[in-house]
């Protein structure tokens, strides 16, 4: 087996085809040493290495060997069983990452949209528990403004002057604010339009912007959990959303010392944003 470039494994009846080098990522592991035909737990049957272990859990082990990262489904719960499997195969780096179970579990993400309408203007403020989500959303929302001096709004304003993009208000990393509609300033009519990518429309009506914003959040996996009126006098409405935030995963960085075939160093790192 040790001379093969491709190895076929049958783990609990589930078949895996992989490279020899993938199984030898950790040369000191039992999984790598099994290729030397000196472990009774691994049987060569009809050209395939048979292992009497859980094949479903082994798929996560193979993913780790290929990526050096632990990335599990949001509904995964068998952390202890997977850790035992990692220890059986001698993959102690993986077992160590799995002990950090609290970093691997999905977290509930909350997002709140507050909308108010006053005269001809609509105001939006978005709060989020994950700053990375708020940052990503702010990059998709653009406010455009334009002025019309001394003329009526019914004249062909849009075709005469280009609209100027405005930065969103960012009171903190966890919220943003913007507005749309029209108002008069020093005798000039000022208009603010809102565009939300990938939709390329520039909307001025607050109700239309709200509808597009809510639809965008639903497409991003958020679930609308409640709507309520915060202030009936100021006409402030609140829309609350939630979704399960999948962790970015835990990974290790491997380096090999010159002239050594073994693992010289393993570092744990977490690539999560918005905490």
CA dihedral 96, 100, 105, 108 (to 10 degrees): -160
In this predicted structure, the answer to whether residue 208 has a pLDDT above a threshold of 90 is: yes
Cα distances (Å, whole numbers) of residue 173 to 107, 123, 239, 275: 19, 19, 20, 10
> pLDDT tens, 72-126?
887 888 999 999 999 999 999 999 999 988 888 888 999 999 999 888 899 999 9
Per-residue pLDDT at 36: 73
Per-residue pLDDT at 244: 85
C-alpha closest to that of 118 among 165, 175, 167, 180: 180
Which 8-state DSSP code applies to residue 244? E
Distance CA 71, CA 134 (A): 23
Q: Are 182 and 120 a contacting pair, CB within 8 Å?
A: yes
Average pLDDT on 217-230 reads: 94
Q: Are 110 and 226 a contacting pair, CB within 8 Å?
A: no
Worst-scoring range by mean pLDDT, 67-81, 150-164, 241-255? 150-164
| Residue-by-residue DSSP string for 103-158 | HHS-EEEEEEEEEEEETTEEEEEEEES-HHHHHHHHHHEEEEEEEEESS-TTSS-T
> pLDDT tens, 7-56?
999 999 999 999 999 999 999 999 988 877 778 888 888 889 999 999 99
Domains of the chain, start order: 6-105 (3.30.710.10), 108-245 (no CATH)
Q: Which residues pair with 11 in a beta bridge?
A: 14, 51
Output 26 or 264, whichever has higher pLDDT: 26
What 3 state SS string does 159-208 have? CCCCCEEECCEEEECCEEEEEEEEEEECCEEEEEEEEECCCCCCECCHHH
Percent of the chain with pLDDT over 90: 60
Q: Are 192 and 180 a contacting pair, CB within 8 Å?
A: yes
Worst-scoring range by mean pLDDT, 64-68, 156-160, 183-187? 156-160
In this predicted structure, the answer to whether residue 156 has a pLDDT above a threshold of 50 is: no
Per-residue pLDDT at 34: 84
Does residue 198 have a cis peptide bond before it, meaning omega lies within 30 degrees of 0? yes
Q: Which residues contact 28 (CB under 8 A, 6 or more apart)?
A: 90, 262, 263
In this predicted structure, the answer to whether residue 237 has a pLDDT above a threshold of 70 is: yes
The CB density around residue 107, as the number of other CB atoms within 10 Å, is 18
């Amino acid at each position: 087996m040790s001379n093969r470039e491709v190895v076929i494994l049958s783990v609990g009846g589930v078949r895996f085809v992989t490279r020899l080098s993938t199984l030898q990522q950790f040369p000191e592991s039992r999984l790598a040493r099994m290729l030397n035909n000196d472990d009774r737990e691994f049987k060569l049957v009809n050209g395939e290495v048979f292992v009497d272990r859980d094949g479903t859990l082994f798929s996560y082990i193979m993913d780790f060997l290929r990526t050096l990262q632990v990335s599990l489904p949001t509904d995964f719960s068998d952390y202890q069983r997977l850790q035992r499997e990692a220890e059986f195969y001698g993959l102690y780096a993986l077992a160590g990452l799995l002990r950090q179970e609290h970093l691997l579990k999905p977290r509930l993400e909350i997002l709140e949209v507050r909308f108010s309408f006053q005269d001809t203007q609509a105001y939006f403020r978005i709060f989020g528990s994950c700053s990375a989500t708020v940052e990503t959303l702010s990059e998709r929302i653009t406010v455009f403004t334009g002025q019309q001096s001394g003329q009526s709004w019914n004249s062909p304003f849009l075709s005469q002057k280009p609209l100027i993009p405005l930065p969103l208000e960012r009171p903190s990393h966890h919220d943003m604010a913007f507005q749309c509609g029209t108002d008069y300033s020093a005798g000039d009519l000022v208009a603010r339009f809102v565009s939300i990518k990938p939709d390329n429309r520039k909307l001025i009506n607050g109700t239309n912007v709200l509808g597009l914003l809510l639809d965008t959040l639903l497409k991003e996996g958020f679930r609308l959990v409640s709507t309520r009126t915060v202030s009936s006098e100021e006409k402030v409405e609140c829309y609350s959303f939630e979704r399960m935030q999948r962790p970015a995963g835990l990974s290790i960085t491997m380096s090999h010392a010159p002239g050594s075939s073994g693992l010289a160093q393993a570092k744990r790192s977490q690539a999560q944003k918005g905490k």
